[in-house]
Structure 1
Amino acid sequence: MSFWERFFLCIPAPYHLFLLSRPNLSQPSINCVSCFRNLIDVFFTPRALRWMQTMIFAVREINQRQDLLPNLSLGYHIRDSGDDIPVSVKRSLLLVNGQPEKGSGQSCKDIQNCISFALVMKVYAYTNCQLTLLAFIWFYFISLLISYFLIFLKCSFMRTMPSDLFQIKALVKLVHYFQWTWVGVIGVESDYARFALQLFLKESERFDICPAYVHFYPVVLMQDAVEELVNILKSSSATVIVNFSGESELQSILKECRRQNVTHLQWIASEAWATSKALWGDFGDLLKGTLGFAIRRADIPHFGSYLRRVNASVAQKSHFLSEFWEETFRCRLNGSLNTHVHGEEAHNWPPCNGSESLDDVYTPYSDVSQLRVSYNVYKAVYLIAHALHDMSKCEPGKGPFQNGACGSLSQVLTHFTTLGEEVRFDDNGDPIASYDLMNWQRESDGSLQLVRVGFYDASLEDDMDLEIDEPAIMWHRGEKAPESLCSKSCLPGSRKARQKGKPVCCFDCIPCAEGEISNQTDSNDCLTCSKETWPNQAQDQCIPKTLEFLSFQEPLGIILWAFSAFGACAALAVIVVFIMYRKTPVIRGNNVELSFLLLLFLCACFLIGLTFIGKPTDWLCQIRYPAFGISFTLCISCILAKTVVVLMAFRATLPGSNVMKWFDPAKQRSSVILCTFVQALICTIWITTKPPFASYNTKFMSAAIIVECAVGSEVGFWCVLGYIGLLACLCFLMAFLARKLPDNFNEAKFITFSMLIFFAVWITFIPVYVSSRGKYMVAVHVFAILASAFGLLLCIFAPKCYIVLLKPEKNDKNFKHLE
């Protein structure tokens, strides 16, 4: 059989254009037989007639060329399948058996070695079982099937129409582009719509698009079925509807939508009706703003004039044209080849007078403004011509395939160029998918126009394959894209929480927890900020934390600084008073030297409080705690020495007692030094082993990094405080025992009272200090220092200053009591 070997590619659908080829007696010739016609509800369809005329036009154009098939000619034979499976099967069998039937074109009669090709298109209502029947017939008799308008089939074939698998991907990306996550999906009850919906729902899961409903309606829509569908559309919150059907089914739906005043819907058209002008006149108000993908269009030179060349005399020679002419002009042709029964109204049509012209009427047949399917037919014919051209030039043994083979038709159909476009096919015989995004726009005169507002090109990268000119889109309502959401988007700073029992598109928005952010719309989870950062007020970004410490510039720091300075000045003022009245009985009667030392150490205690204000550093932290411990130890040691001296002085008045020799001024100074040495030793061990250091604390959930002095060794810190407490307890005990001793200037009871205040301050300090954080913990510490220092200063020295300055008459050694 040489290169005319018989093979089967696929049976796409039962609108058929058959091409048969054979060698002529005088020269090689290809006789093409075509059969297709689109009938909807037994009505004649001018669009399908235009597609047929496109095939004829392409065949004649190829036959006139010298560079393509120079030694071959193409012919055609047209048969009507009537959009009916039994008719399609009958005429397919007649065709492959070579039996004659009324048709149009050149037949294969008396021709030997016929090889057959088929150009086929789509239909919506046929089942896979019916397609299988046609496939069985064509498997044995049709060498090559080429589709120019195919929908979903899963076998290998050649076609100029891109697989609708790409259309579904484009539709899903279109819905995702406008952030429509809640859409209604409907389709006619057919394998086409079921397969389309299945793919649409599967692809939608990648983009978190949820169907508000999925509804199939019958091909023949009864009133109850239409009402049920429109009630679903009306009750749903989805405003965007994706519809997989033809234009005839949609007409009934739109009529019911208008009756029930359902006019708010944004329609997304499948390729089947995305460019259907038949819907414009009656439903333009409902379909304004519709978006849908259409196959690429092209302008075929001289094709418009070829279509309008038909007149009454030409129409009489073809029953296809006869029926078109009669239904277009509502008249009867004499000698018409049309044998179709029109009905009672058609029998009353007047005879055609021959003056009718297609230039005077509008018909989809002569409308060449949107040549899309027609362009596919044109490419399909050229596809076969180029394949035959390549094979006719191939010499066995010198072909491009293995061992120099010329290959079969399915192998040579790879690419060609027509009308400036390079048509390429992949390994599955599919052309590279490319669609125009069409928008139904209403013009100023009220008419609808198809406007290209974008494109989808499957050959581009995934994030660049869809391009949309959004400002050019006219929407159904308003100037912005409508919303179609089950739940409004969660703004940055919140996260989505699924609503129980509902699709993923239905959710609640919950603010992010403390320390967390979400910087995207519709975030599923919130992100935890790092230790060095904290959410801003909107909780949509992490910002660096502020450094928190007790500063000299803030009000709390200023207050503590002022009280520290005031306390130091007060201590210095008392020293001045004591110096001025150092020879008076009140001053001399209570160990002047220890009093001066105590005042100096109290002044130091007030100033030590200033080291706790300001940004901590390592060296400041290592000075702060030892200075605090040693200064208070010096104060308590002085008070303890004064108390012991008072107590021992009373013992010295007893007969035979010489205890005072152990408590002369030198011994008193030594006791203060000894007590302080112990504290200094504790601080030295603390500093050398595990010293305090500046710490940047981020473990607490706060918008600030706490800059604080970590104590280093907790044991060392509490040993310093414990030693001060021990000395205070001894001092309190001694003062309590000496509080009622008979001495004119006995200050033991004032020391007792001062120790009670000291204990009250520091016992209160411990739980407050432990429970505080950051600068407030430091403020508590400074407050405790100042409060205890003021308590000692006021309780011990205020009574003396009162007598010296305000009651000088009591400043007499013969005055009984210091009260």
Structure 2
Amino acid sequence: MAKFPYFYRTVPSELHICAAIVKLLKHFGWTWVGIIAFDDENSIRAVQILREGIEQSGGCIEFIETLHQSRSLRVQETDIFDTFSTYSTKVIILYCNKDYREIIRHTTIWEAPGKVWIITEEWGFFFPSYSVDRKNTLAFAVAKKTIPSFHKFVREANPAMFPNDSYVQMWWEDLCNNQCPKSIQRSCSSDETLFYFSQCDSINSGDSYNIYNAVYGLANALHDMVTSVSGNKTLWSAESERFLDFLPWKLHHYLKNLHFKNILGEEIFFDENGDLAIGYDIINIVILPDGTRIKEIVGSYNPYAPPDQEFAIYEEAIMWESTFNETPPEFRCSPSCPPGFRKLTREGKSVCCYDCIPCPEGEVSSQTDIDTCTKCPEDQWPNQKRDACIPKVISFLTYEEPLGITLTFVCIFLILINTVILGIFIHYKDTPIVKANNRDLSYILLISLMFCFLCSLVFIGHPDNMTCILRQTAFGISFSIALSSILAKTTTVVMAFHATKPGSKLRKWMGSRISISVVLFCSLIQTVLCLVWLFTAPPFPYLNMKSEIGTILTECNEGSIHAFYCVLGYMGFLAGISFIVAFLARNLPDRFNEAKYITFSMLVFCSVWISFIPTYLSTKGKYVVAVEIFAILASSAGLLGCIFFPKCYIILLRPERNSRKFI
């Protein structure tokens, strides 16, 4: 900065060229590249910028080969070819300035097959000829412009007009050597040579446009500086001529604020770094087997355009080698991980070299090349491909599904049977067999069993606050009344046999009021337990998202699990006492001893609920509810069948046994 405090240029900046290359790599998804560059200061700086840009955009550099001007280029070529076989990358960035383009032209590094070359604009048009079809080179070039009257100027700049200028003669002779036939390369003034000017790269290249803008930019700055001092826009005064002595530091102000339209109508100005605000073309250079060279503009890069418009590429215009399996080809160290997978970097390798593994259970990846999968929300679950979260299936036992229909049908059927038996007992209430088995307790037991059947229907359907409260409390109280009635009937049978003994004091305890009091007392205890449960921690609807994969179980949470176990424990206590008492009274002498049937009914009841416990604990989802409904129906049906079917059999089919004498 001290040596060159003022810096302006109309040639490409390394920063913009590198940014354009990174944009190109990112567009095609080429994340695995190699770089070849010379060891000059500009190339080294550009390679560093390229490295940072590629790595920031998610790419990786497999190798950086540096060509040293001081060493034999042939030896270095051999070294590079030897190492090429060990490299897997197919994209090679060749960065060097025009000082080395003649050296590169005569190397054989281009002969490496199956490579895509990305080169900088400064030497992009100086390609050697090939004996094979080459369609895999992309070059950046300053936008080529046709400058009006420039061909006329070139024709008038005949070297014969400048006999003492050896540089003009050399420039003229080399001007179209790459394009003109050999027969006219030295015929500088011939009409045939002038014909090739219209096709000449040197005349129509971006370099000519850069020089044109540089000359006119400097001219406009000088013009602005002189006219601002003299106040005369057409004439130079002596004062303005003396002002030129201060040109080195005065001109900087006018160059910095330079802004004009050139002859093509383009806005010309320098940015804050002293770079001319121009864009670049992306050229697809194709060399056919016959040596014909085709250059097609396939994209553009303008760092001064809005962010969404600075880069453009026209893939359909690019010619690729036929050996590529796909167009555009995909060059990566590892294949792209599709949605539903994540990257797992290989140990000791670059981050671009990885394996694709499926997302773990409960996680998804919706984009390609994801490093980590994301968890789905609690109410969602991955789809089969694990590339999107989908709502979980809400599951509960419904009346529409076959299982719900079957259980509902069985429940209604048992209720009808229960109702028929109750009707029979009411109709034959004065017969000996009904009276002998304590008809009041029989009515209470039949009605409580009917409620047991009905409460199973509350378990079917979508749980809400009311159904969750009714499920366990109605079930607990209904069964407690039924078991209390059975306990009262069993106790009555025992007391009845002992009361017949002479001098027994149990006679005064015989009667329906004592039996009903037992039922009320035992049922009241269960009712109190249920009320305490409801007032402390009642059951509530609960969305269980963890029991089953991909399913939301809509179920009832018991609230207080201790209260729930107390209700079940009390029912078990009543069932156990009833079973013990009935079992002890099963052999009492009588032609019709109800204790035998109660014993068998309680055996069925206890067997159902004991087998229910492991089944309940091993079942998930709506089948837990189905198991509980089945246990309610089976145990209630066992009580109904074992206690009342024998009586109905005698009442309806063996009426001769329904007599006081027989009983």
Matched, 1:238 2:238: no
Counterpart of 1:28 in structure 2 is: none
Cα deviation code 1:338-386 (max 9, x no counterpart)? xxxxxxxxxxx99989985552785899446632111112222223323
Counterpart of 2:209 in structure 1 is: 375
SS of equivalent residue, structure 1 residue 571: helix
State how 1:201-220 maps to structure 2 within 5 Å.
201-219=51-69
State how 1:318-337 maps to structure 2 within 5 Å.
318-323=165-170
| Cα 1:324/1:669, change in 2 over 3 Å | closer
Code of the aligned partner of 1:161? V
Counterpart of 1:422 in structure 2 is: 267
Counterpart of 2:321 in structure 1 is: 476
Matched, 1:285 2:133: yes
Deviation for aligned residue 1:440: 2.2
State how 1:352-501 maps to structure 2 within 5 Å.
356-359=190-193, 366-367=200-201, 370-395=204-229, 408-414=250-256, 415=258, 416-419=260-263, 420-441=265-286, 447-477=292-322, 480-501=327-348
Contact 1:9 1:157 in 2 (8 A): no
Give the whole-Å Cα distance in 2 for the aligned partners of 1:189 and 1:480: 34
Contact 2:548 2:620 in 1 (8 A): no
Counterpart of 2:595 in structure 1 is: 748
| Cα 1:433/1:379, change in 2 over 3 Å | closer
Counterpart of 1:158 in structure 2 is: 8
| Cα 1:562/1:495, change in 2 over 3 Å | same
Counterpart of 1:692 in structure 2 is: 539
Counterpart of 1:65 in structure 2 is: none
State how 1:185-224 maps to structure 2 within 5 Å.
185-219=35-69, 222-224=73-75
Deviation for aligned residue 1:207: 0.7
Counterpart of 1:41 in structure 2 is: none
Deviates more, 1:517-526 or 1:197-206: 517-526
Deviation for aligned residue 1:658: 4.0
SS of equivalent residue, structure 1 residue 735: helix
Give the whole-Å Cα distance in 1 for the aligned partners of 2:158 and 2:278: 38
Counterpart of 1:530 in structure 2 is: 377
Deviates more, 1:294-303 or 1:216-225: 216-225
Give the whole-Å Cα distance in 1 for the aligned partners of 2:187 and 2:610: 121
Contact 1:295 1:372 in 2 (8 A): yes
SS of equivalent residue, structure 1 residue 290: strand
Give the whole-Å Cα distance in 1 for the aligned partners of 2:185 and 2:307: 59
SS of equivalent residue, structure 2 residue 297: strand
Code of the aligned partner of 1:548? S
Contact 2:397 2:622 in 1 (8 A): yes
| Cα 1:683/1:313, change in 2 over 3 Å | closer
Contact 2:463 2:555 in 1 (8 A): yes
Unaligned runs of 5+ in 2: 178-182, 232-238, 241-245
* Alignment counterpart, residue 273 of structure 1, candidates 110, 115, 123: 123
Give the whole-Å Cα distance in 2 for the aligned partners of 1:186 and 1:354: 38
Deviation for aligned residue 1:624: 2.1
**TM-score, normalised via structure 1 length:** 0.70
Give the whole-Å Cα distance in 2 for the aligned partners of 1:174 and 1:327: 33
Give the whole-Å Cα distance in 2 for the aligned partners of 1:271 and 1:770: 75
Give the whole-Å Cα distance in 2 for the aligned partners of 1:731 and 1:451: 99
| Cα 1:496/1:620, change in 2 over 3 Å | same
Give the whole-Å Cα distance in 1 for the aligned partners of 2:148 and 2:280: 22
Deviation for aligned residue 1:645: 1.0
Counterpart of 1:625 in structure 2 is: 472
SS of equivalent residue, structure 1 residue 183: strand
Counterpart of 2:236 in structure 1 is: none
| Cα 1:474/1:369, change in 2 over 3 Å | farther
Deviation for aligned residue 1:304: 1.9
SS of equivalent residue, structure 1 residue 476: coil
Matched, 1:172 2:8: no
SS of equivalent residue, structure 1 residue 566: helix
Contact 2:133 2:289 in 1 (8 A): no
Give the whole-Å Cα distance in 2 for the aligned partners of 1:804 and 1:321: 135
| Cα 1:775/1:218, change in 2 over 3 Å | same
Give the whole-Å Cα distance in 2 for the aligned partners of 1:352 and 1:547: 87
Give the whole-Å Cα distance in 1 for the aligned partners of 2:427 and 2:317: 96
Contact 2:173 2:188 in 1 (8 A): no
Cα deviation code 1:517-543 (max 9, x no counterpart)? 222222222222223333333333333
Alignment coverage as a number of residue pairs: 637
Report which of the two has the higher share of helix.
Answer: 2
Matched, 1:668 2:515: yes
Code of the aligned partner of 2:80? L
Deviates more, 1:685-694 or 1:320-329: 320-329
Give the whole-Å Cα distance in 2 for the aligned partners of 1:158 and 1:661: 125
Code of the aligned partner of 2:262? T
Contact 1:514 1:701 in 2 (8 A): no
| Cα 1:809/1:486, change in 2 over 3 Å | farther
SS of equivalent residue, structure 1 residue 725: helix
* Alignment counterpart, residue 264 of structure 1, candidates 114, 126, 131: 114
Cα deviation code 1:72-104 (max 9, x no counterpart)? xxxxxxxxxxxxxxxxxxxxxxxxxxxxxxxxx
Among all aligned residue pairs of Structure 1 and Structure 2, give the percentage whose two residues are the same amino acid: 41
**TM-score, normalised via structure 2 length:** 0.86
Code of the aligned partner of 2:449? L
SS of equivalent residue, structure 1 residue 744: coil
Matched, 1:509 2:356: yes
Contact 1:172 1:204 in 2 (8 A): yes
| Cα 1:655/1:294, change in 2 over 3 Å | same
Deviation for aligned residue 1:568: 1.6
Cα deviation code 1:109-128 (max 9, x no counterpart)? xxxxxxxxxxxxxxxxxxxx
Deviates more, 1:557-566 or 1:232-241: 232-241
Code of the aligned partner of 1:359? T
RMSD: 3.6
| Cα 1:509/1:446, change in 2 over 3 Å | same
Contact 1:304 1:368 in 2 (8 A): no
Give the whole-Å Cα distance in 2 for the aligned partners of 1:188 and 1:230: 16
